[in-house]
Each structure stands twice: as structure tokens, then as C-alpha cells.
Amino acid sequence: MRDLKLEQELTLLRSLMSEAKAFRDIIQATLNMEVVVPEHENRFESLRTTFPELAARFQRELGLPTDDSADQLFKSVKDLPSLVRSTDLEKTKLQARWHRYYMGLYEIQGRLKIRREKLDALNPMALKLKRFVLNPFVLVIIIGALVLLVLALIKT
């Protein structure tokens, strides 16, 4: 059984995690090159506005307590040139803050996936279908049929 709300929450979480990875990639590239690339600057400014909004929407949708860690993550970096000029300690703190934030998202993703698995287990038809398809005898028949189909397609 699929819960539409749960699937929407997972989709929103995946997009939030993707944006968090994009932020990390920009930060890492800037720190590694020690030069600000205009493409990174533009993407960073875009993330600066969209990411906190997406994080707040995610918190509302899941009914999580309001957390400003996404805002704090971006407030800690005024812009990419200031990041390049920052001290090693500030850079390390930023990376640690990002890791804590991302691990929190990862933990939430795990809880949502467990909830989805529990819902799937409640659906007896899905459970029977899963058992049927995972039966080794059935798998051999399915693979054999696919091989015969491919061979027939190759001959034509």
C-alpha cells in the first residue's frame, strides 16, 4: 500500500537532499580551487533563496519543529569570495555544520523509508506478489522467457 502523502514527503526530501549536495559541491569546488567561478556564484545565490524555503516547507509538511539550521548554514557564508578568504577553522566549522544538517536529513529519510516498508507490509496482495516474484522457480521461468524473447527478436 502506498501512502501518497508519504511519497510526496520522500520526493520533497530527495529534492532537499539534492540541493544540500549542490551546496556542498559548490563549497568544496570553491575551497579546492580557491577561486570563485561565476557559475558557482550564480548557483550559490540561487540556493541561498530557494534552499531555506524548501527546508521550511519540508519541516511544515512533515510537522517537524521549526529549525533554522538551513538558514544558519547559508548565513555562515556571506558569499563565495568571503568563503575563500575565511580561516581554516571557519571552513572546517562550515563543513561540519553541513554534515550535521545532511545527516539529519538522512536520518529522516531512513524513518520515512521504514514507514513506507511498514505500509507495504500491511498490503497482503503486495506481500503475496513479492513472495511469488521472488520464488526461485518463478525467477527461472521469467528469465527463461526473457531469454527466448531476446533470441526471437535477434532472429527477426
Question: pLDDT tens digits, the chain, 156 residues: what are they?
Answer: 467 888 899 999 999 999 999 999 999 999 888 888 899 999 999 998 888 888 888 888 888 877 778 878 888 888 899 888 999 999 999 999 999 999 999 999 999 999 888 887 777 777 777 778 788 888 889 899 999 999 999 987
DSSP class of 86: S
pLDDT for the residue 1? 47
pLDDT for the residue 114? 92
CATH number attached to the domain at 4-122: 1.20.120.440
DSSP line for 92-135 = HHHHHHHHHHHHHHHHHHHHHHHHHHHHHHH-HHHHHHHHHHT-
What is the pTM for the complete model shown?
Answer: 0.71
Sequence-separated (6 or more) residues with CB below 8 Å from residue 64: 58, 108
